[in-house]
Amino acid sequence: MKKLIPLLIILVIMAIIAVVFVSMAKNDQPITIIKGNTKMEVLPLKVNFTNDPYCKMLITTKRNSSQVVSPDGRTWFFDDPACMALWLQDKAFKKTANIWIYSIDTERWIDARKAWYGRADETAMHYGFGAREHKIENAIDFSTMELYVYRGEHLGNPKIRKKLLGK
């Protein structure tokens, strides 16, 4: 009996530790997807609590972040327009999804397909495609931005970086 008491104490302590770890794992997990957005509207972005599903980075600013909403109401958030384009490339709902982007000129959510994109802007993953509501000189449209991303013609490419920035 005396040998059994220390074993029971160890088992109880281990059970308490397991319960603590399980409860910690269930709380405060970063958001990767939100379900139920059947109106396909812009959702609030929880900065520093939402992960980009393409690059897996924590989204730390609204600037140039985007949201893709599938017709079934699933919503994903992205830290960089290029991450969104790369992730969306092979999705069956690519053409029917609503895509929202936070513009750097008006600082609000706009339709990403109607946005204008710079090529040498500061973005989270350094691709350079900053989104704007209003067209500026040398800005490109959404489909051109996608094409440049797919072809690797962005600031992450040293040749393009040198061409656009001289560095």
pLDDT of residue 22: 60
Q: How many domains does the chain have?
A: 1
In the chain, what percentage of residues exceed pLDDT 90?
A: 80
The mean pLDDT of 31-52, rounded to a whole number, is 95
| pTM recorded for the entire structure | 0.81
pLDDT of residue 5: 73
SS3 sequence, the chain? CCCHHHHHHHHHHHHHHHHHHHHHHHCCCCECCECCCCCCCCCCCCCCCEECCCCCCECCCCCCCEEEECCCCCEEEECCHHHHHHHHCCCCCCCCCEEEEECCCCCCEEEHHHCEECCCCCCCCCCCCCEECCCCCCCECHHHHHHHHHHCCCCCCHHHHHHHHCC
* Residue at 71 is within a domain: yes
The mean pLDDT of 105-133, rounded to a whole number, is 97
pLDDT of residue 13: 79
* Residue at 50 is within a domain: no
* Residue at 115 is within a domain: yes
Domain that residue 132 falls in: 66-162
